[in-house]
Structures are given as C-alpha cells and as structure tokens.
Structure 1
Amino acid sequence: MQDRYTILAVFEYSTEAQVVKAKLESEGVKTMLMDEKTIDSDPLISQAIGGVKLLVHNNDLENAATIYNEIRNYTKDENGNNIHCPKCDSTKILVADLQRKNIFFMLFPFFESRKLICNDCKTIFK
C-alpha cells in the first residue's frame, strides 16, 4: 500500500515550515516538506514555485489540521487587537486571497482593498 500525503499549509520560507513541522511531529503526526531544498538554495523563486509545502499523512490529516489551527497566526488590526468576525464573532481571521477579475486591479494591485476571511464560518468581509 502506498503512503498518501496531503498539503496542509504552504509557507514562503522553509524556516516557517520547519517550526510547524516540528510541532506536528512532536504530537505524533507524520509530515514531510516539499520544495524545501529548492527554496533554501534560491529564496527568490519561492513565489514562482508556490512556496514550501507542508505535507501531512492522510491518516493524520484531521488531527494535524486541529493542531495547526491552534498555533497559526491570525490577523490583527493596526493596534494589535484581535479582529472579530461580524457573523460568528470568531477571532480566527485570515487575509483572503484576492480574486482579481478586473484588468485594472491586475495592473494596479495596490488600489485593491484588503479582504478578510473567517477561518470558522468562511465569511469574507473588509
């Protein structure tokens, strides 16, 4: 039987991935990193190849996701306070991926406002 792994998270630098990998392995979760050596040898290509991928064995995926959600850094406001979801009042808020459908925002991305997404209820808000 072949071992199956799923991507749990993607990091820009391998040091960030190593910290999370160490925490998961200390909890008994089977993990491995993909593209770590490539990005370590040339960090400027991190965006081009999609960053360092943290892979988790499928048998440990649910447990790993729970542990990762407990330790990950969530978005704060300008004063360092937690941001609350307007729908469920959760503080597990992340910056949402930008959906650039307009050519103007593709050419001038700095005019696009930041959107946030709740990690619990998946509500997107500003």
Structure 2
Amino acid sequence: MAERLITIATFNHVTEAHILKGRLEAEGILCFLGDENIVGVQPFYATAVGGVKLKVPETDVMEAKAILTRIREGNTVFDYDTIELAPPMQEHEVVNTCPNCGSDNVEQVKFNKTIFSISYLFLGFPLPFLNRRKYTCHECGHTWKSN
C-alpha cells in the first residue's frame, strides 16, 4: 500500500521550497512539492492555494521537521566529506600524439571551419561537415590527418 505524504511546511516562493527540498534530499529524505507549478506561474495565487507545500512520507515526518528546525535556527552542519564527487570531465579526448613535437595535447577537429562558414553565409544555416580523422596539436599548432 502506498504511504501517505504529510505536508510539513508551506512557502510563498517556489525557490525557497526548492532550496529546502534539496537540503532534505541531501539528508536522504524523499520529499515532494505540491502546487509548485501554479505558484510558479501565478505567484499571486500562492495565498489562494495555500502556498507551495513541502511533503514527506509519513515515516520521515519527525526527522524532516527536526532538520527544518535546525536550518531555521541556523545551526546546521553538513558533512561535505561524505559526498562522492563525480570524476572530472576531460576537456578533449586524447587519441593521438603529435608527429611534429610528440605532445599528447591534441584534439580531434570536429568540422571544417571554411565549409561551415561558407554554408552559413550562403544558406543562412551552418552545415557541419565532420572530419573524423583530422587532429590538431595545442602545443605547436600542427594539423594532420590520422591513418
């Protein structure tokens, strides 16, 4: 059977509700916002519908209220050491080494800039022509085609 959702707080502004929803979710509490769309579209309706309602499952009501109380009092401590960070994204994929200088700081050229610019000038929209085997070195500026 589905668990009931209990409203633990109401807000007149959608952004405030989203901030506290995010904080509760960071603490591991599943929560939902009610009437957020109508208040977001027509803020003057917030009073008529009772504001944006922050709802949690019935089993998490006491813990969620305790967290909201700590937030309102200003004595919250969040343990940032327990958060797993995503691995850093690579700016460009290293697939080759430069035959000129031997550097591995190379990038695959995604399109021919000349054809791209001319098609944009004459057609009004760019036509991306892919060059999958062309690379450029960021160290010495050398451009070559891969075998």
* TM-score, with structure 2 as normaliser: 0.48
Which residue of 2 is the match for residue 59 of structure 1?
59
SS of residue matched to 1:28: coil
Per-residue deviation at 1:57?
0.8
Per-residue deviation at 1:48?
1.0
- In 1, Cα distance between equivalents of 2:3 and 2:41: 28
Per-residue deviation at 1:71?
0.4
List aligned pairs for 1:37-76, cutoff 5 A.
37-72=37-72
What do you get for the CA RMSD once the two structures are aligned?
Answer: 1.3
Letter in structure 2 aligned against 1:8? I
Letter in structure 2 aligned against 1:24? L
Per-residue deviation at 1:36?
0.1
Structure 2 gap segments, 5+ residues each: 75-147
1:60-103 deviation per Cα after TM superposition (whole angstroms, max 9, x unaligned):
111101100000268xxxxxxxxxxxxxxxxxxxxxxxxxxxxx
- Equivalent residue pairs, number: 74
- Structure 1 residue ranges, 4+ long, deviating more than 2 angstroms after superposition: none
List aligned pairs for 1:76-91, cutoff 5 A.
none
- In 2, Cα distance between equivalents of 1:57 and 1:26: 16
- In 1, Cα distance between equivalents of 2:48 and 2:58: 27
Per-residue deviation at 1:2?
1.1
1:24-80 deviation per Cα after TM superposition (whole angstroms, max 9, x unaligned):
000010100000001111111111111000001111111101100000268xxxxxx
Which residue of 1 is the match for residue 12 of structure 2?
12
SS of residue matched to 2:55: strand
Letter in structure 2 aligned against 1:27? E
Letter in structure 1 aligned against 2:34? M
State which structure, 1 or 2, has the greater radius of gyration over its C-alpha atoms: 2
Matched-pair identity in %: 38
Which residue of 1 is the match for residue 33 of structure 2?
33
* TM-score, with structure 1 as normaliser: 0.56
- In 1, Cα distance between equivalents of 2:19 and 2:73: 13
- In 2, Cα distance between equivalents of 1:29 and 1:2: 16
Structure 1 gap segments, 5+ residues each: 75-126
